[in-house]
Structure 1
Amino acid sequence: MGVSEIAAQIGMPKSGAHRLLQGLVAEHYVSRRSAGTYSVSIKLWELGSAALFGFDLRRKADGVMEALMENTGETVHLSVLDGYQVVYVHKVENAHPVRSYSQIAGRVPAHCVATGKAMIAFKTSGWLDHAVQQLVAATPRTITRPAAFLAEMQKIRSCGYAVNRGEWRTGVNGIAAPIFDGTGAVIAAIGLSGAHDTLNEQRLGELSEQVRQTAQDLSDDLGKSAPHASLLGVINRWGALV
């Protein structure tokens, strides 16, 4: 389609439509052809596919999250990674949730919470080397020493789950495990959070296998319909929207 036709379709002056198209071309959402016409790019298809997958992720996770909450009595989170931040995409609260801790589409530093650590532990060594230069303490228990944090990542990769011991909010603990797609890439994490009084060190250990198995079940289910690895960056970038 040409600029004039596009302007007429969207009810915008031709000059405004041209500026809009230039912005979309710059972001690679639209391609300009030699004849002066424009067409949508593969990037829009990727974004749409990522959004559809995000809805599928929540739909498939909802039942197991409800079951995990009922079995453990703790609030359950489903998170994705966006850069160095966790985005909460779904949550099933228990009868007495920890208030002001998380909200859907809320963001927190990934290195401070269990779902975040469960995901970034499987990043490349280069990614982690850069990440450890940006560790900021949220509480006195946040791991900020690069060597200690990298050791924590190795431990998570070995045991298959991550623990947050008051590293984001004092008195709030968590445990989470990564969710993998059919390519073996980490695309999300599922975890529990609760007050230290109930989710103490002993109970974290007792619940670790249940959390890990829940993540494994979701990984097996999503592996049948997960997007190609090329879409993972789109999912991560637009995690708050999907």
Structure 2
Amino acid sequence: MTLLDLQRYEFIQNAVLNIGTMDSTLLKGLTVLEHLAASEAPRGVSELARVLDLTKSNVHRTLQTLVAAGYVRATPAGTYECTLKLFELASSVLARVDVRQVAERFMRSLADQTQETIHLSLLDGADVIYLHKIESPQPVRAYSSIGGRAPAYCVASGKALLAYQEEALVHLPDPLPTYTPRTITSLDMLRHELEQVRVQGFAINRGEWREGVCGLAAIVHDALRKPIASIGISGPSDRLDPAALRRFSDVVVDSARGLSRALGYNPIDLAPRITRTGAMREPA
């Protein structure tokens, strides 16, 4: 190996080492930032070092960098918390997110799997509004229109939303208006069903809005963990009988979760920790 070859080899080796160091430093910084963002109270250097399995000096340097960049600030008590710069960044990203556009592929997939009509719905007072839909290819199908409304407590999409936005119940009278023999008729009965929705992860309409039309829906969350929409299926009761509703519950819930993730929703902190050596370690 010539001197020039040796110099080139050393240059490449040093570059690789520097890249590895920069990547490790960046990951440590992001891990500290994510932990602070998820914390309900400011955190100190020692606590962060213990929880993230980093040295105190490493955490202190990382925090000083984040402070200089404007993402973190020190409190009078000597702890650290996130500034609103993260919110500003997130807001600019969220402003570009079109729920309907993002939902399209999940709705198409759900339509292919179920062969039923698919709705993306929003809550407006005591009603749901159909933001988007994909028609069933079946000759007999549930009728609805984009922009149409339905009483939230009578349809699966509405109950999925009400389960996570119970403050909307103030818009409802008691007793509740009856549309079919299966309509829920009191707020107590509705609250009991909404609790079941939260436990099982999906809502069911058993012909409560229109006789002979059933449905199944699950909640969609955004990046701020807010319930913003529901996605679900509807169709004739002779096709969507109890056995079919049970069979389709998993695919509807999976579609809602996939859409939520595509909108930036993260129900738990899945960020891997970084050891003192810079190696990645999955959370327990």
Q: TM-score, normalised by structure 1?
A: 0.67
Counterpart residue number, 1:118? 160
Counterpart residue number, 2:147? 105
Note the C-alpha offset of 1:133: 2.7
- Structure 1 residues 120 and 134 mapped into 2: Cα distance closer, same or farther (>3 Å)? farther
Distance of 1:115 and 1:84 partners within structure 2: 12
8 Å contact from structure 2 (residues 161, 227) kept in 1: yes
Distance of 2:148 and 2:168 partners within structure 1: 23
1:212 and 2:266 matched: no
Note the C-alpha offset of 1:96: 2.2
Q: Which runs of 5+ in 2 are unaligned?
A: 1-92, 266-284
Counterpart residue number, 1:80? 122
Identity of aligned residues (%): 45
Distance of 2:216 and 2:196 partners within structure 1: 14
What's the C-alpha RMSD, in Å, of the aligned pairs? 2.4
Counterpart residue number, 1:57? 99
Distance of 2:100 and 2:119 partners within structure 1: 11
Note the C-alpha offset of 1:213: 0.8
Tell me how many residue pairs correspond in the alignment.
175
Counterpart residue number, 1:156? 197
Counterpart residue number, 2:181? 140
Note the C-alpha offset of 1:135: 2.2
Counterpart residue number, 1:185? 226
1:222 and 2:263 matched: yes
Counterpart residue number, 1:166? 207
- Structure 1 residues 57 and 108 mapped into 2: Cα distance closer, same or farther (>3 Å)? same
Q: Which has the higher contact order (CA 8 A, sep 6+)?
A: 1
Note the C-alpha offset of 1:146: 2.1
Higher mean C-alpha displacement, 92-101 vs 81-90: 92-101
- Structure 1 residues 95 and 156 mapped into 2: Cα distance closer, same or farther (>3 Å)? same
Note the C-alpha offset of 1:199: 0.7
CA-to-partner distance for each residue in 1:84-112, whole Å, 9 max, x for gaps?
A: 11100110011126567310000111111
CA-to-partner distance for each residue in 1:45-72, whole Å, 9 max, x for gaps?
A: xxxx99964xx11111111111111111
Note the C-alpha offset of 1:183: 1.8
Distance of 1:196 and 1:97 partners within structure 2: 14
Distance of 2:259 and 2:124 partners within structure 1: 20
- Structure 1 residues 50 and 108 mapped into 2: Cα distance closer, same or farther (>3 Å)? farther
Q: TM-score, normalised by structure 2?
A: 0.57
Distance of 2:95 and 2:131 partners within structure 1: 12
Distance of 2:107 and 2:153 partners within structure 1: 23
Structure with higher Rg: it is 2
